[in-house]
Amino acid sequence: MIIENKRSPEVNQMKLVFWIYSISSFPTFQKIMNERKQKVKWIAILWYIYIHVLGVYAIWLMFTSAKWMTIFYTIFITAIGYFGMTAGAHRLWAHRTYESESLVKLFLMLAHTSTGVGSIYNWVLYHRIHHKYYGTDKDPYNHKKGFLYSHYLSNILSPNMNLEEMKRRIDLSDIENDIYVYFQKIFYWPLFLIFGLILPLNAPLEYWNESLIETILITGFLRFAIIINISWLMNSAFLVWNIKEGEKIPSKTISIFFLKKSFWPKYHYKIPWDWKCGEFGIYDDDWTTFFIKMAHELNLVNSLLTVDTEDIRDMLHEMTIKEITLEDSLEKLKEKSIFNMEKTKLIKKH
């Protein structure tokens, strides 16, 4: 005898109501609902869904049908885009941690263009707003709203601010007068079409006869999925790698095996002009720092700004004996770093 387990419509309705209530009670969901005044960018949502779904499928193709050359090639051009964002948009243009020769600027500009994350001008604008209004409602990646908002939602919601007013408040004179940033801003889409799509996708098809599907999905969608998340992570990394107040280090959770937390993310928000400070919780020991070091050895970059331990010690000592704010102390510290940098350049010339 078979007994049919049919639930009444009333039971199903009660379960649905309970499920909606449970989700709406979740803190992150409540934060999302508070963003009513920010418009949802539906086209961006659809684009990001397509990229990530097809990117996941591309991972399966990597292990089943793609050629090894395609995999290595995709890693290589993804790394180039990575340097365009970290050494270029972030450390060179957003924070002016160093100066570079024209050849390096051209390379970093084209490398950044290949990522498809938008113009350097817009990326720098939003990142400088993020630093200037950190932790406030004007912060486009406000960490106080959680990782979900900082990493994902902030990129699919319209800015919660008057962008034109922000452009007047944020000093953008340096990048507005930068010929490479200006050129990329004006001709972004033609440049992206060439360096982000045509050239990267042509190589596997022409030189080692990779199939069209594998080329588009692996060299195209998977690369963009990785690069986009790296770009987002540069603004949300604080929530991943920073040591939270009261947090025990080393952590007793499984995260200790794949996350090396530190205070360097917090340091970056106080001293963003130190070229050695990495984007993901590391200081003076990441690939971007190594890239800048090599370029410096080849005399392709110069005027590297950093901080001496003694200068920080002097700054803290001065704060204890004088009535001086942290902001004023950090400004003096930057002036000292510029002085040390100029002194180093003179010594190197002679």
Position 5 pLDDT exceeds 50: no
Residue 148 half-sphere exposure toward CB, CA atoms < 13 A: 9
Candidate from 10-24, 29-43, 188-202, 307-321 with smallest mean pLDDT: 10-24
Whether residue 296 is contained in a domain is answered as no
Exposure class string for 322-345: b at 16+ Cβ within 10 A, else e: eeeeeeebeeebbebbeeebeeee
250: cis peptide before it, omega within 30°?
yes
Position 29 pLDDT exceeds 60: no
Domain extent, residue 196, equals 38-245
pLDDT digits (tens, 9 = 90+) for 123-138: 999 999 999 999 898 9
Position 30 pLDDT exceeds 60: no
Mean pLDDT of the chain: 86
Cβ atoms 261, 249 nearer than 8 A: yes
Q: What is the DSSP string of 37-72?
A: TSPB-HHHHHHHHHHHHHHHHHHHHHHHT--HHHHH
Q: How far is CA 240 from CA 85, 233, 259, 263, in A?
A: 19, 9, 8, 11
Whether residue 91 is contained in a domain is answered as yes
Whether residue 17 is contained in a domain is answered as no
Whether residue 319 is contained in a domain is answered as no
Q: Sorting pLDDT into bands at 50, 70 and 90, what band is 15?
A: very low
- Separation of alpha carbons 70 and 75, rounded Å: 9
Q: Please give the pLDDT value at position 24.
A: 42
Whether residue 341 is contained in a domain is answered as no
Closest CA to 213 of 224, 201, 203: 201
Cβ atoms 196, 113 nearer than 8 A: yes
Whether residue 27 is contained in a domain is answered as no
pLDDT digits (tens, 9 = 90+) for 257-299: 456 788 899 999 999 999 999 999 899 989 999 999 999 999 9
Whether residue 125 is contained in a domain is answered as yes
- Separation of alpha carbons 275 and 141, rounded Å: 22
Whether residue 216 is contained in a domain is answered as yes
Q: What is the domain count for the chain?
A: 1
